[in-house]
Amino acid sequence: MGKMQEKIYNSLPYPFKFILLNIKAFQNSKQRYTKEFDAFLKEYIDLWNADSDHINAYQKSRLILLLSEALHHSDWYSKKMKELGIKGKHIEENPYDVLQKMPILTKSERKTNPDLLVNKSRNTDGVGYTSGTSGAPTINYLDKESINRSFALWRRFHKAIGLETKRVKQVRFSGRLIVKPDSKKPPFWVYNYFENQLLMSTYHLTDDNLFHYVKKLNRFKPILLDGYPSAIYIISRFINQKKLTLNFTPKAIAVTAETLYDYQRLEIEKAFNCHVYNQYASSEGSPFITECTQGNLHLNTDSGVFEFVNVKGEKAKFGEVAQLVVTSFTNLKTPLIRYNIEDTVLLAEAGKTCSCGCAMPMIEKLTGREDDILWTKEKGYVGRMDTAYKGLEGIVKSQIIQENPEEILVNLIADQNFDDKMQEKLVDNLKDRLGQNINYQIRVVEDIPLGPNGKFDAVKRNFAIEL
């Protein structure tokens, strides 16, 4: 939604918001859920249950198609390949060898050259934007196949965790502006009839409003909750603290777009009495990573090729935190080949297998963006800072900011249980993880603003390190 459309939408009375949103939802549904979508969904469900040989053969065929179309129809990639002497026969003979010869595509290159990257042989059937952490929009061109395939992969994830593949009754928390940001009274949500989806605002989750959210959830009784873990966590913590009773139990909660921390998972599962499933994709069109019913994160290798680079710039080993470099099959209109998406994962130990029946490889954790990794002289690179809060009480919400290697600022919203003893314990925990010779500043605040697109940045490093 553009700025002018957003302004018009926000100025409308609630009934007109409902009408306008559902007109758009109807158009989206017609575009997304076609006969082609049904065919792709069946294809992906079959692949989820296939053996490794079948999955690898499929991945190879999709890689050949991606590289071939990039060679012949993308000005950006065609120029790169010609400079490297890559021809069509090389792609057919060994696409993985060709892939390794390709340069890594950076975020800045992706952002500033969208019209050169595009596949000119495919129609433009949709245009999206992603704000990224900087808030500067990145344009994303889509064709019908890309749209259908992305939603088929999403529905395949639903199927794998025991949900229906269409029109699951759901609540979604995302950064979309559903109602005016300054609204003081409900509704803080709008119903999407065509997706059977209640869109709830992430911008109004204050103590004064949370009772209204819980009351609406009890009336709506969703089968699925999905969206930002930080938003679902706020509601879950409120439910648990107030000892509120829910008159429904969802079948699943699926989170995405932010790092899911262990303390958030525990709080959410306690409130809603169901499993939280983690999932990774991106509006830019990255390949998928999804959690299975056994709690393991599978690389959806039928949606792309994953490469892992450690902090030294070398191929990462088992058990290391690694930066993701992705080659994606989900968007053939705007190809991503060896794209440094600036997200990080913790690789699983060698030999790890899963009993869920899916043969696709696994990672241990989704650790977040590159900016979520802190660096100090004493400890080097440090990720997953949620463990610093173990054993503490009274912290409602917190954010760690590192301005330079010697200074750590912690902004936190606290309740009456956060006292001097808790603050001392927090500093001790931080010292254990980041080092003794750091200047730690704990600042209790009334509010911590959301980042771009309504996301919450739990950890921010505001200086560059070599990854």
Is the distance from CB of 407 to CB of 466 less than 8 angstroms? no
How many whole angstroms separate alpha carbon 164 and alpha carbon 155?
8
Residue ranges of the domains in the chain?
Answer: 3-296, 373-461
Is the distance from CB of 337 to CB of 105 less than 8 angstroms? yes
How many whole angstroms separate alpha carbon 255 and alpha carbon 106?
26
The pLDDT value recorded for residue 453 is 65
> How far is CA 229 from each of CA 174, 237, 261, 386, rounded to the nearest angstrom?
10, 12, 8, 14
Show the DSSP H helices in 161-284 as ranges: 207-220, 229-242, 262-272
Is the distance from CB of 463 to CB of 404 less than 8 angstroms? yes
Q: CB 168: neighbour CB atoms within 10 A?
A: 19
Residues 6+ apart with CB under 8 A from 433: 379, 382, 385, 387, 388
The pLDDT value recorded for residue 236 is 96
How many whole angstroms separate alpha carbon 55 and alpha carbon 134?
36
Q: CB 379: neighbour CB atoms within 10 A?
A: 15
CA dihedral angle for residue 273, residue 238, residue 173, residue 158, rounded to 10 degrees: -10
The pLDDT value recorded for residue 133 is 43
Do the first three CATH levels of 3-296 and 373-461 match, i.e. the same topology? no
In sign, the C-alpha dihedral spanning 72, 76, 80, 83 is positive
CATH dotted code for 373-461: 3.30.300.30
> How far is CA 353 from each of CA 69, 215, 262, 281, 359, rounded to the nearest angstrom?
35, 42, 22, 22, 8
Q: Which amino acid is at 83?
A: E
How many whole angstroms separate alpha carbon 400 and alpha carbon 409?
6
Which residues are bridge partners to 428 per DSSP? Answer: none
What are the E-state strand segments in 143-223?
Answer: 170-174, 189-192, 197-201
CATH 3.90.190.20 fits 3-296, yes or no: no
DSSP, res 458: S
The pLDDT value recorded for residue 58 is 98
Per-residue pLDDT of the chain (467 residues; tens, 9 = 90+): 555 566 677 777 878 888 888 888 888 888 889 999 999 999 999 999 999 999 999 999 999 999 999 999 999 999 999 999 999 999 999 999 999 999 999 988 998 899 999 999 999 988 887 654 434 557 889 999 999 999 999 999 999 999 987 789 999 998 777 888 778 899 999 999 999 999 999 888 888 899 999 999 999 999 999 999 989 998 999 999 999 999 999 999 999 988 888 889 999 999 999 999 999 988 888 999 999 999 999 999 999 999 999 877 788 888 888 889 999 999 999 999 999 988 889 999 888 889 999 999 999 999 876 657 788 887 776 766 777 887 788 888 889 999 999 999 999 999 888 999 999 999 998 988 888 989 999 999 998 887 766 777 888 888 876 54
